[in-house]
A = this chain, B = another copy of it.
């Protein structure tokens, strides 16, 4: 098997990537709220963006650069204001942000990507953004401190930073993939967004990089749900600067497959961190659908269960409420025979079959409750129909979710 090793690291784990952070005072006080990523060499850039009809200005800016296949040198990120629903002014601000980074770092303006997260409908305070960029540039650095502080700077109401990295070998050359992300729903009134930034020193064509990202995102970030609300700003950027020195990947060979697996490992780790840090969550809730007819069916079924408010509330209550899980499978869309479904609950506290062939297994509610009281729980839904499978990740629905989202904007 391809060997992929997890390492401690984030967005600067791969060669030639640097990060910086600053407290620009955009909306938060007394904390960092801007981050800057920089690649020493031009990097192939891939991206996936929100499917929401309402797209924030930075999404439109980045999408154009990615679609035109432009090489990227830098990413400017701010937390506090999303630059969404901001009209032409918002687009101008993307250009000014990129322009400021370009002149400060002496790189082309169209090699600068931008990303924002925060309140919808407010305009960015451009002077602070520009001051922030100029303040960050001299501090660009590699290593745990720089990348970790960048990961913290982009948080909104996330409770912890989210980073992951792996290494693997391509034709004897060591390659690294690392990333950071933020997001726990469209959190805090008007706050929103999943933002994910992954870097690699792999040498690969932009077309294959984009294809690898698209496939990986479908199995990772697109399989998590905190509240079913798709933000206006969701963005995943992947930069590959080729500094590992491998022979450039231009076809779907073994090296490409290994990279895809490494990338998916990083993305899956980051995605699960987001789900587990969902607003108000006390537990990561994983749903595996196995033996479904098609992969698409498996994905739709898994997503339906992790999105079910009733199921999520039951997880919070440590209640092995299989009726709700079966119900959520039932309204997902794909056809199946309820009388063939097996359901098993798993966690660090144990493993228990709850439902066998559609009928309640003879299980102890107490034991089930103990399994569900772990901070990461898995429901395995065996459809007994075919060979396809999928996993999805969410979290429980808690009082704190309501509290976070009902509190009036301050």
Does A85 make an interface contact (CB < 8 A)? Answer: yes
A322 to B119, CA, bound (A): 11
A254, chain B: closest CB distance, angstroms: 38
Q: Is the CB of B52 within 8 A of A314?
A: no
Taken together as a complex, chains A and B put the C-alpha atoms of A316 and B399 apart, in Å, by: 13
| Interface assignment of A19: CB less than 8 Å from any CB of chain B | no
Nearest CB in chain B: distance from A309 CB, A:
4
Task: Compute how far the CA of A173 lies from the CA of B146 in the bound complex, rounded to whole angstroms.
Answer: 82
A401 on interface, CB distance cutoff 8 Å: yes
State whether A330 touches B52 (Cβ < 8 A): yes
**Would you call A77 an interface residue if the criterion is a C-beta within 8 Å of the partner chain's C-beta atoms?**
no
- Among A105-113, A133-141, A332-340, the stretch in contact with B: A332-340
Q: Give the residue among A53, A185, A359, A360 with the most B Cβ atoms within 10 A.
A: A53
Q: How far is the CA of A227 from the CA of B313 in the complex (A)?
A: 11
Interface residue tally on A, bucketed by range: 35 or more
Q: Which one, A38-46, A150-158, A229-237, A287-295, is touching chain B? A: A229-237
The answer to whether B121 touches A330, judged by C-beta atoms less than 8 angstroms apart, is: no
CB-based contact B331/A52 at 8 Å:
yes
Determine the chain B residues whose CB is within 8 A of the CB of A69 once the complex forms.
none
Given contacts A316-B402, A398-B402, A408-B369, contact A227 B310 (CB under 8 A): yes
Indicate with 1 or 0, residue by residue over A244-277, a CB within 8 angstroms of chain B CB atoms.
0000000000000000000000000000000000
**Known interface pairs A232-B330, A398-B402. Does A407 touch B324 (Cβ–Cβ under 8 Å)?**
no
Q: Is the CB of B405 within 8 A of A336?
A: no
- Which of A331, A338, A359 has its CB near the most chain B CB atoms (within 10 A)? A331
Query: Quick one: closest B residue to A326, CB to CB?
Result: B54
Q: Could you give, for residues 298-333 of chain A, a 1 whenever the CB lies within 8 Å of some chain B CB and a 0 otherwise?
A: 000000000111100110111101111011111110
Chain B, Cβ-Cβ closest to A120: B323
A407 contacts across to B, CB distance below 8 A: 317
- Contact across chains for A335 and B186 when beta carbons are under 8 A apart: no
The verdict on A84 contacting chain B, using a C-beta distance below 8 Å, is yes
Judge if A406 is at the interface, Cβ distance under 8 Å: yes
| CB of A242 to closest CB in B, whole Å | 36
Contact of A335 among B53, B185, B307, B310 (CB under 8 A): B53
Cβ of A397 < 8 Å from any Cβ of B?
Answer: yes
Q: Is the CB of B229 within 8 A of A402?
A: no
Does A125 reach chain B (CB closer than 8 Å)? Answer: no
* B53/A405 in contact, CB under 8 A: no
* Cα distance A228–B309 in the bound complex, in angstroms: 8
State whether A227 touches B54 (Cβ < 8 A). Answer: no
Q: Could you give 29 example pairs across A and B, Cβ below 8 Å?
A: A52-B331, A53-B329, A53-B330, A54-B326, A54-B338, A55-B330, A85-B323, A85-B338, A87-B358, A186-B310, A186-B324, A189-B319, A189-B321, A190-B321, A190-B324, A192-B327, A228-B228, A229-B308, A229-B327, A229-B331, A230-B330, A230-B331, A232-B330, A313-B405, A314-B405, A397-B402, A397-B406, A398-B402, A398-B406
Contact surface of A with B, Cβ cutoff 8 Å: 51-55, 84-85, 87, 119-121, 185-186, 189-190, 192, 227-232, 307-310, 313-314, 316-319, 321-324, 326-332, 334-336, 338-339, 358-360, 369, 397-399, 401-403, 405-409
Pick the 10 closest A-B CB pairs, nearest first.
A120-B323, A54-B330, A317-B406, A313-B405, A230-B331, A52-B330, A53-B330, A227-B309, A190-B323, A316-B406
20 more CB-based (< 8 A) A-B contacts, given A230-B330, A401-B402: A87-B358, A87-B359, A119-B323, A120-B323, A120-B327, A121-B322, A121-B359, A190-B323, A192-B323, A228-B228, A229-B310, A230-B327, A230-B331, A232-B326, A309-B405, A313-B406, A314-B406, A317-B406, A398-B402, A402-B402
